[in-house]
Every structure is written in structure tokens, then in C-alpha cells.
Amino acid sequence: MTVKKAISHIDLLIQDKHDLKMKMIGPVLPLPIPGDLVNRFDRAMGSMLETDIEWLQSIKRQLLPEQHRTKIVCKHPKKDHDVDPNGQKYCTGCNANL
Ligand SMILES: [Zn+2]
């Protein structure tokens, strides 16, 4: 899997979790209502989804520098280069798109 593909999968996951949170909870967590079990469940669910989104964004940031931020030039030999099913050339050594 190329880094680009991994990032697009992560983007889909982030979007999915964001949509679920908006459908079930809304943009902000509801204020706590003592003794209300549904409220407690909503708050727990919302905070779980927010944590998942933060983790996925953090993983995405870790993947980005390889290609976009530091502009590392692949120094692996040509024999390590391959083409993915979409025709994108990439390095099997460092996963950078070429
Ligand atoms: Zn490489």
C-alpha cells in the first residue's frame, strides 16, 4: 500500500466517524445530566468518537512528512521501485510515491 492510499483510507475513516458523531450526538457533547443513562451513553459515545478522530489525525500526520512535508527524495535503487494497480510509481523500500 502506498502512503497516499493509506492516507486516503484514513481520511475515509475520519469522515465516517465524524458523520456518525454528527448524526448521533451533534457538534458538541451534551451537558451532563446526573442520573440520565441515555445522556451518559451519548457523552461516552461522543467522547470515544472524538478520541478516535484525534488518533486517526495523528496517524495521518505521521504519514504525511514522508512525502509532503520533508520532501525526502527516495534514495533506494531502481529495483525497489514498483507500480501500483492505479499506475502510480512508488518505492517498496520507503513507500514514497515517485
Ligand atoms: Zn525509497
Question: Over the stretch 56-69, which tens digit does the pLDDT of each residue have?
Answer: 998 988 887 555 55
How many Å lie between the centroid of ligand 1 and the Cα of residue 68?
Answer: 14
On whether residue 90 sits in a domain, the answer given is no
Against a cut of 0.75, is the pTM above it?
A: no
Query: Is-contact 81 92, C-beta < 8 A?
Result: yes
On whether residue 87 sits in a domain, the answer given is no
On whether residue 84 sits in a domain, the answer given is no
On whether residue 20 sits in a domain, the answer given is yes
On whether residue 56 sits in a domain, the answer given is yes
Query: Is-contact 39 32, C-beta < 8 A?
Result: yes
On whether residue 26 sits in a domain, the answer given is yes
On whether residue 42 sits in a domain, the answer given is yes
On whether residue 95 sits in a domain, the answer given is no
pLDDT at res. 61:
81
How many Å lie between the centroid of ligand 1 and the Cα of residue 78?
Answer: 9
Listed range (41-45, 70-74, 79-83) with the worst mean pLDDT: 70-74
Q: What average pLDDT does the chain have? A: 86
Instruction: Give the count of domains, the chain.
Output: 1
SS3 (DSSP) at 90 = strand
How many Å lie between the centroid of ligand 1 and the Cα of residue 75?
Answer: 5
Host domain of residue 55: 3-73
Query: Is-contact 7 39, C-beta < 8 A?
Result: no
pLDDT at res. 69:
53
